[in-house]
Amino acid sequence: DIQMTQSPSTLSASVGDRVTITCRASQSIGNWLAWYQQKPGQAPNLLIYTASNLESGVPSRFSGSGSGTEFTLSISSLQPDDLATYYCQQYSSSWTFGQGTKVEIK
């Protein structure tokens, strides 16, 4: 099974900061990776698919990059509404989610 490891587990940043979350796969997954945002008490929401494609309606401050085994989700200018936990998911071989990265606002 493919394992997905996110870092950091928790991130605290100020409004306006650039934020980067890393997701590493235990073996190559090509670009079969999605990112989701889950706000407190809500269902997850798709942000990015196929590693770098922005889902319709998602603010352009979100971006994804990477291929193979290392991927990043970036928020160019952190906003208060971005308080959430972020998950990566591989869909190259079955499905596996990362353990999540909680983003806090300083």
Partner 1 sequence: EVQLLESGGGLVQPGGSLRLSCVASGFSFGSYGMTWVRQAPGEGLEWVSGISGSRSNTYYADSVKGRFTISRDNSKNTLYLQMNSLRAEDTAVYYCAKGAHYNFYSNYVDYWGQGTLVTVSS
CB of 104 to partner 1, least distance (A): 16
Nearer to partner 1, 18 or 68 (CB): 68
Mode of pairing for the β-strands spanning 101-105 and 10-13: parallel
Question: Minimum CB separation from partner 1 for residue 16, in Å?
Answer: 28
* Phi (first) and psi of residue 81, to 5 degrees: -70, -10
Check if the beta carbon of residue 30 is closer than 8 Å to that of residue 77.
no
In the bound complex, what is the minimum distance in angstroms from residue 19's beta carbon to partner 1? Answer: 19
Applying CB under 8 A, the residues found at the interface with partner 1 are: 1, 32, 34, 36, 38, 43-46, 49, 55, 85, 87, 89, 91-92, 94-100
